[in-house]
Structure formats: C-alpha cells, structure tokens
Amino acid sequence: YALAGRLVCPSLWAALFPSPVHAHSPQAFVSDLSAMDSNNFDANAGVGEREARVASASVARRHFGLAHGVGRSGDITAEQPKAAGSSLMAKLTAHMATDALRAAGYKEVGHALVLPLATGMAVAQVLLALMRARPGARRVVWPRIDQKTCIKCVAMLGLQLDVVPLTLRGDELGTELAAVGAAIEGGEGGAENVLCVLTTASCFAPRACDDLAGVAKLCARLNVPHVVNNAYGIQAAGIAREVTSAWRKGRVDAVISSTDKNFMVPVGGSLIYAAKGHLGVVDAVGRAYPGRACAAPALDLFITLLEWGEQGWRGVLSARERMYGYAREKLAAAAAELGERLLETPGNPISLAMTLDSFDEDGGATSLGSMLFTRLVSGTRVVDRRKAQEVGGVTFSSFGAHSDEYPHTYVTVAAAVGTTEEDVDLFCERLLKSARDWRKRRAKDRARAEKAAAAAAAA
C-alpha cells in the first residue's frame, strides 16, 4: 500500500476506528483500493456483460473507479472476485460502522449490515426476511408514528398494519404496553399471525421513543419478532440506552438506521444491526439481497468515518447533545415571545415542539409553515391537528400529530447531527418575523371584514 494506506490500515485490520487522518489520505487510500478492481487493471480483457465499464470520465472520477459494486448474487456481504478493492472497502465499512455504533453507546452490538437502501426499503427487507421465517404471518403491530415511510413499507408487501394508539402523558405521546399486548393476542389469528411488532426509537416530538424494553419483554414472552425503526437515533445517547436496554431485557430481532441522517452522507444507505448472538435476521437480509449492490453508500460512509476517526465521531455526538440544549433554550424563548410554549417531551432527545395554538384558525398554522419555507427555513414540520389523510390504504385523523386527539397545533424542530447555533438562531429569527407578519396581515383582514360588515349593516 501507498503512504495513505499505511496511515490507516493498522487500526482497520483490528476493526477499530482509525485515528483522524488528513482529508486527502482517505482519497488516496480509496484510489489504492480501486486499483485492486479488475476494471482498473491495465492488461485486463473483460468480455462479460458486466465489466464495470464506465463511459463518462466524470462518472468514473466521482466513484473513484469503483464500478463493480459490492457483494455477489445471493449475498451482499460476499467477496466479489473481480472487485477485491470494492469488497475490502465494504468489509472495512461494516467493521467501522459497527465500531461507530459501539462508540455511540450501543453496547453488545453485533456486526452491522450496510445496505444501499434508504430506511423504508431497509425496513421492507427486514420484513421480507421475517416473512420467510414466519410463513403465513400477515399482521404488523405498530404503535402509531405519523411518518409515511413506515406505513408504505408494510403496505407494499401486502401485509396488514395493526395501528396501536399512543397514550398522552402530559404533553408527550408514548407507548401503551397493554394496548400492544392486546393487539398481538387479540387480533386476527393471535400471536402466531403477527409477523412482528414494529416500534419506533427516533421520531418527531411530541411523540417519545417507544418503550423498547417493555415491548422487547412482551415479544420475548409471546414469541413474536421485534423490529426497531431507529432512523436517526444513533446520534442520541438516550436512544442508545433504550435500544441497549431492550436487547438486554427482551427480544430485538433487528434495528434499522439511516446513514444520511446519522453520519451526514448523501441519502441512500442504511444500517441493520442487532445484539451479538441475535443476528439471525440481520444475516438473513444480507444473504437474501438480490444481485450485486451499489457501492456508493458504503463508500460515502467509509470516507466519512476515515476522516472523522473515533475522536472526530465522538466529537460530533457531543456537539449534537450540546445543540439540543441550545435549541431547547432558544425555542422556549421564541415561544414565550409569541405567547406560546415549548412542549415538554423528555422522552425525545432529538426533536422539539412548540405550540401554535394562537395560529389555530383559518389555516393560520399551515400558512405560517409556508411563510417559513419561502424564507429559507427547511426541516420544520407544522402540524395541523385537524388534518385527515389516507396513507397506504389506512385513513388517519390528525395525520402528523401521532394521535387522533392531540390537544395542540405545533411546529417541530430537530436538534440533529450537524445542526449549528447559526441554524437555530436564524430559524428563531425567521419564525418570530413570520409570526408577526402573519398576525399583522390577519389583523388587517379582520379590520377590512368588520368595516365591510358595518357598511353592509348601515346600508
């Protein structure tokens, strides 16, 4: 290997995070790996239908010449003889992703599977693996989370979604274990007809992380698989503790997380993982992956983790924890200025929500959300509790609020990995200005309406 390879390899071979390296070193290392793939051999004579031929030089540079993909037909984790460099990169990425999980607080985690699929499709792959293990089981018991992807990945497989309502405790919506148990045992076909319980760890406030340990114990007792949708929870130490507690105390067959939401890479990848000794479903997904897989999501993660190193990754996690406190303080101050309040959601360590009750008429909240978007605010969710919507064949009242009867209209903000103080400050500034502008416009509209009514009465 060249110098770049020698800088990082000693730690990689031990399946540990490397120390932080210069930004150019991962690129040089990836170039060395690329030279190990047959499509980059000077004397190679490729006569097959798939020889990693790339017509565009720009596309080839974008992918560092790693065009063969990863895995082999029938197993995404298998080595590809024509692509030794790509295969090695994929193996190292999986090792480093597993170490990143451990560094984030996921104790006893087994090896992670890196998939070139975003979260929803990865959840679908897990459900498919469970369908092979539990033929005939058709029901997915699902504590409600108003996020369309979760619903669609169940609907696309022709499965039945059994929606379990949440319980309101103060401002926060949380798991009702008795209702989950009743849905498992009391639904059509009983527990034997349940493919899995699909819980949620990371979510929009005012919903809390599900009672993962409680559900895990329930699933262990009833012999029902348990899948955790942890799309962006890797970054939160509190969620790591919840997941770890769950697989220590009960049954967790698979946890699914997004790479882009947790590691700041482009959309298109996910991790599937579970505790050591309980990797049957994770391994089944890898073995069942149809065909070769795109290497780009793994490569993005590989380069990012090399540049961070363990020290850098821990720094990213610490910065996010601090940002949650900062965002909470600033949003509470903005809420008070508008006569609103911050919702108390201690079970959600990432997302925050502020009431918009004074905007809860004539579509005021939705209008405010549109004003924010046109003023270059992205990522917020304004939830109108009166909105009904059909998703995947299921009709939800108050879709977006996680409940048919949530008492507030609200806006959410995520103190997610990569968020800066400047982001929070600009959001609060634009929120306050948009709210004041809406109120001024509303007051003028009312004055005009009153004047018109008075003129009509006088006439």
Distance CA 114, CA 296 (A): 11
How much is the pLDDT for 277? 94
Average pLDDT, integer, range 351-372: 88
pLDDT of 59 > 80? The answer is yes
Residue with tokens 């047959």: 38
Classify each residue of 240-279 as buried b or exposed e, where b means 16 or more C-beta atoms within 10 Å of its C-beta: bbbbbbbbeebbbbbbbbbbbbbbbbeebbbbbbbbeeeb
How much is the pLDDT for 393? 82
pLDDT of 56 > 70? The answer is yes
Residue with tokens 């049957």: 280
Considering only CA atoms, which of 309, 364, 294 is closest in space to residue 76? 294
pLDDT of 18 > 90? The answer is no
How much is the pLDDT for 72? 80
Whether 244 and 385 have beta carbons less than 8 Å apart is answered as: no
Q: Which two tokens stand for residue 17?
A: 């995070």
Per the DSSP assignment, residues forming a β-bridge with 342 are 354
> 129-147 pLDDT, tens per residue?
999 999 999 999 999 999 8
Top-ranked range on mean pLDDT: pick from 300-314, 381-395, 412-426: 412-426
Residue with tokens 């009242």: 397
Considering only CA atoms, which of 80, 94, 70, 91 is closest in space to residue 272? 94
| Window from 39-43, 116-120, 140-144, 369-373 with minimum mean pLDDT | 39-43
How much is the pLDDT for 14? 45
Map residue 41 onto helix, strand or coil. Answer: coil
Residue with tokens 């905007």: 359
pLDDT of 15 > 80? The answer is no
How much is the pLDDT for 5? 43
E strand or H helix that includes residue 113: strand 113-115
How much is the pLDDT for 2? 40
pLDDT of 11 > 60? The answer is no
Long-range contacts of 368-377, Cβ-Cβ distance < 8 Å, separation of 24 or more:
368/411, 368/434, 368/435, 368/438, 369/411, 371/434, 371/437, 371/438, 372/430, 372/431, 372/434, 375/430, 375/433, 375/434, 376/430, 377/426, 377/427, 377/430, 377/431
Distance CA 7, CA 151 (A): 45
How much is the pLDDT for 23? 55
Backbone angles phi, psi at 196, to 5 degrees: -170, 165
How much is the pLDDT for 78? 81
What confidence tier does 1 reach under pLDDT thresholds 50, 70, 90?
very low
- 96: exposed, middle or buried (C-beta count within 10 Å: 0-12, 13-18, 19+)? buried
> 433-458 pLDDT, tens per residue?
999 988 888 878 778 877 888 878 88
How much is the pLDDT for 281? 97
How much is the pLDDT for 4? 41
Map residue 418 onto helix, strand or coil. Answer: coil
How much is the pLDDT for 20? 61
- The more confidently predicted of residues 285 and 7 is 285
Residue with tokens 């909240």: 365
Average pLDDT, integer, range 259-284: 96
Whether 227 and 254 have beta carbons less than 8 Å apart is answered as: yes
> 163-183 pLDDT, tens per residue?
999 999 999 999 999 999 999
Average pLDDT, rounded, for the chain: 89
Q: What is the pTM of this model?
A: 0.91
